[in-house]
Amino acid sequence: MSKPLSHYDEQGRASMVDVSGKAPTKRTATAQAFVRMNARVLSALSDNPKGNPLEVARIAGIQAAKRTSDLIPLCHSLPLSHADVSCTVETDGVRIAATASTNAQTGVEMEALTAAAVAALTVYDMTKALDKGISIENIVLLEKTGGKSGDYRRDSAV
C-alpha cells in the first residue's frame, strides 16, 4: 500500500501540512536545471546588451528561493540560512545548480527546485532574442539532507 499524499485532508481537499509538532533540524537541498542552446547563443552570452545572463540568472535564482512560498500555494515560508546558484557553460548549454539550507521543521527541496527553475527561465529570457528554440530541461532534485525521511541522493546524472 502506498503512503497517502500529505497535502490532502480527510475530505480530499488540498491543505497545508501542519509541521508545528516537528522539531527544527538542519536541512539542505540541491537541484539542477539545464538550458539547452546552440553554439551561436552560447558564444553570445558575454556580449548580451542586457548584462551578463549567467550573473542575472544567479541572482534571480537566489531571489526565487527566498520567495518560493509566494509561488507554490501550500509551501511553508522558511527562514533560509543560505541559498546559492551557480551557472556552468557546457558544450550544448548552461547547467544550473541551486542549493538551499535552513534549520526548520520542513525541508528546502522546493526552494532549491524553484531557484533552479527561475534561474533557467532567466537565462532563457535574456537569450530568447537570439533563438526561440532554447529549451529548459531536467529540473530535478539532486540531493537533500535532514528531516524524518532522511537523506536522498539521485542515483543517475541528468
Residues in the chain: 158
Active site residue 151: no
Do the strands 135-145 and 93-104 form a parallel or antiparallel pair, or are they unpaired? unpaired
77/111 Cα distance (integer angstroms)? 10
Coil, strand, or helix at residue 1?
A: coil
Smallest CA-to-CA distance from 23 within 102, 106, 111, 110 is with 106
Catalytic-labelled residue, pool 47, 70, 125, 131: 125
In angstroms, how far is the first alpha carbon of the chain from the final one? 30
- Residue 2, C-alpha cell as written in the block: 502506498
Beta bridge partners of 136: 35
Helical (H) or strand (E) element with 103: strand 93-104
**Active site amino acids:** 125
